Homo-oligomer: A and B are copies of this chain.
Amino acid sequence: MKEIYIETAKEGLQRQGYKLTGPRLAIIRYLAGEKGHPDIRQIFTRIRSEHPGIGIATVYRTVDLLLELGFLRAITIKKNQLRYEVNWPGDHHHHLVCKGCGRVIEFGSCNFQLISKEIEKVTRFRIEEHILEAYGLCHDCLPGKQHYSTEKM
């Protein structure tokens, strides 16, 4: 799976005329093995540990490129902080974020395609992608409904 992704990304870059450079390969390999949802800063520091010379600008550039080519997805865990994850083929899922502790859970039960055709017809748009994020409280953060006692104490 991971190897297939790496190969597919490499082929994709080359087919579109982009060079297979060391920094790009390092970023692709790292992302292919990352299970979480790192932000730019995390990607940068992780890559730099085994590829010390890399610059932050290259990370921005490569992440943008991988987004454009569809090898990455961007998600919004919290305001003003984009996070990234591999866009595994056939793995369509979304995220549930706990507003208490920040925990992120993925869920695959998306029913957007049930209404997208109708929306396309009405709006005459061609819908290519969508993002869906749900926010709430996880089981650990639920019980203490301290909102009343601590909010304006």
The residues of A with any CB-CB pair to B shorter than 8 Å are 16-17, 74, 76, 79-80, 82, 96, 98-99, 105, 107, 109-112, 114-116, 118-120, 122-139, 142, 151-152
Contact = CB atoms under 8 A, between A and B. Distances in A.
Given A17-B152, A74-B79, A80-B82, A135 B124 contact: no
A35 to B, nearest CB: 18
A130 B132 contact: yes
Contacts of A79: 74, 82
A110 to B, nearest CB: 8
A145 B8 CA distance: 24
Nearest to A137: B126
A132 B132 contact: yes
Nearest to A16: B152
A103 to B, nearest CB: 9
Contacts of A119: 96, 107, 109, 134
A99 B128 contact: yes
